[in-house]
Amino acid sequence: MVNRSGIWAYSASVAGSRHLRRGVERQDRAFHRVEGDFAIAVVSDGAGSARNSALGATVTTTRATAAATWRMLDLAKSPTAADLEEVLRASVSGVRQSLEELSRQTGEPLQSYANTLLLAVQTDTLLGASQVGDGGMVISNDQGGFDCLTSPQRGEYANQTTFITSREWSENMDVKVVEAQPKYLAMFSDGLENLVIEGATQQPFFGFFNNVFQWLEGQSDPGRVEAELSGLLRSPRVTSKSDDDITLLLTIRR
């Protein structure tokens, strides 16, 4: 499929030091796809306390990508904002249904597959995003800065969040569609959240995103980009501040 969107996507996901010490597999997942004139990106963070969360995150990323792709291809025309919102809501609902079916087939509790979801769909005129749980999405703005696109869901207590397997997932889902063509989009799991979002203001750290995207402007080899992103996420300046799994997905319009 020819990339008519002009959007390029790259991702890296690494196991946190806490998981490595315990011999636990990485539970973060990321997936991206450019299909003709639109692009889809998904990040999922499996709950550390749920024994099947890595599989849950895998199902979430693959199912969300497939569902959003099918629905976008089914549209007979360029999507309106209402069309794109429906694509997002239906795709996330499809993820939930897939996890429920997996639970029925295996006999494992639905909550054992607990994971969060970040889903973004970009076209030539619109950007749509859906979020269930923590993590975040940041976009560039016309003033040369960066803005948060969606807001993480927090529970009543520290380190609590909503999962796609939670009873209240649909009520807490954040869906947003904007008429915009941001040059840059970043999506990240909560392992990176505290390093790139200012705690007091809940605004993106300009220095981090500006440096990462300025570096990305000069790159052309996807393999090298993703290898260097993995190196960044494993570097002491990151791992000294976070022992959780970390995922970073970047898109750029060229």
Domain membership of residue 2 (yes or no) is no
Domain membership of residue 241 (yes or no) is yes
Give the number of other CB atoms < 10 A from CB of residue 122: 27
pLDDT score at 215: 97
Do residues 62 and 117 touch, judged by C-beta distance below 8 A?
no
| CA atoms of 200 and 245, how far apart (whole Å) | 24
H-helix segments, the chain: 17-22, 53-74, 81-106, 169-172, 190-196, 206-217, 222-234, 236-239
Could you give the percent of the chain with pLDDT greater than 70?
A: 95
How does pLDDT run across 139-166, given as a tens digit for each residue? 999 999 999 998 776 654 446 789 999 9
How does pLDDT run across 3-62, given as a tens digit for each residue? 777 999 999 999 887 767 777 788 999 999 999 899 999 999 999 889 999 999 999 999
Token representation of residue 123: 């076209």
| CA atoms of 151 and 197, how far apart (whole Å) | 11
Domain membership of residue 1 (yes or no) is no
| CA atoms of 231 and 226, how far apart (whole Å) | 9
Residue type, 202: Q
Domain membership of residue 124 (yes or no) is yes
Reported residue count of the chain is 254
Residue among 57, 167, 63 nearest 115 (CA): 57
Q: Domains in the chain: how many in total?
A: 1
Distance from chain centroid for Cα 90: 17
CATH number for the domain that contains residue 97: 3.60.40.10
Domain membership of residue 59 (yes or no) is yes
Distance from chain centroid for Cα 153: 14
Query: DSSP letters along 5-41, please?
Result: S-EEEEEEEE--HHHHHHTPPP-EEEEEEEETTEEEE
Q: Dihedral, CA atoms, 66, 169, 10, 55, nearest 10 degrees?
A: -70
Supply the DSSP symbol for 150: S
The pair phi, psi for residue 154, each rounded to 5°, is -115, 150
Instruction: For residue 121, give its domain range.
Output: 7-253
**pLDDT over 70 at 95, yes or no:** yes
**pLDDT over 90 at 64, yes or no:** yes
The predicted model gives 170-182 an average pLDDT of 94
pLDDT score at 19: 67
